[in-house]
Each structure stands twice: as structure tokens, then as C-alpha cells.
Amino acid sequence: MMNFILMLIAMIVVFLASVPTIIGNTLRKLYRKEKIKEYFKTVALGFDQVGGSILYGQEDWTVSSWTFYLWRKSEGINLSAYYFMRFINTLFMDQKHCEDSFYGEAQKQNFKPEWM
């Protein structure tokens, strides 16, 4: 129970600290006339990895890549992973987003599942 309470406190603190930090960094980058596209991409990837930690307990994987892994590992039987993967792909307007994400991360982490 104590771990759960600590996790909730950590999530609240991170959320409360991240909003002003993101706003401040965005304003700073705009003021310095720096490109903010890479910053937003990095922030989005960070949130995606936090999502992977929360949903799947996989801190090094994004939601997209691990969802594809679960679907592929089950040989198409895991319908919840399949429909969630389709939702993510539709959200990104790319029918291979999850697959591309998985293979990109697997290559970076030198991860070889049995079907590769």
C-alpha cells in the first residue's frame, strides 16, 4: 500500500512540475528563436515512455512499440492489443506506426524476439 501511495504522490509532483517546465522551456526556445520541434518530439517521447511504464511496466519501451510486441507475440490472438494498436495507428495517421516504432526501438536496444 505504501508503494502505491508513493507512486501517486510522485505522479502528482511530476505532473505539477512538468506543466510549468514545458511552458517555460517553450517560451525560452521561442525567445531565443530556437527550433522547438525537436523539444516537443522529446517531450512527447518522454510522456510515451511514462505511458509504457504505467500501462505495461516497461520503462524502456513506448506504448506504441510494446502494444505491437504484445500483438505480434500472441500471433494475432490478443485482440485488445490489436484494437489498441489500430487506435494508435489511426491517431498517428500511419498504419505502420506501432510496427515501425517497435522495430526502431528493438534495434536501439539490441532486442531480438523469436520471430525476427
Vertex 61: Cα angle to 73 and 42 (nearest 5): 145
Domain of residue 23, residue span: 1-34
pLDDT number for residue 116:
59
pLDDT number for residue 8:
85
Q: Do residues 55 and 15 share a domain?
A: no
> Is residue 43 a part of any domain in this protein?
no
Mean pLDDT (whole number) for 1-13:
85
Q: Do residues 28 and 52 share a domain?
A: no
Tens digits of per-residue pLDDT, 100-116? 999 998 888 877 776 55
Q: Do residues 107 and 61 share a domain?
A: yes
Q: Do residues 97 and 71 share a domain?
A: yes
Q: What is the DSSP string of 60-98?
A: TS-HHHHHHHHHHHTTT--HHHHHHHHHHHHHTT-TTHH
Mean pLDDT (whole number) for 88-98:
94
Q: Do residues 27 and 58 share a domain?
A: no
pLDDT number for residue 95:
94
Tens digits of per-residue pLDDT, 18-43? 889 989 999 999 999 888 888 888 88
Tens digits of per-residue pLDDT, 39-91? 888 888 888 888 888 888 888 889 999 999 999 999 888 999 999 999 999 99
pLDDT number for residue 113:
72
List the grid coordinates of 67: 502494444
The total number of structural domains in the chain stands at: 2
pLDDT number for residue 115:
58
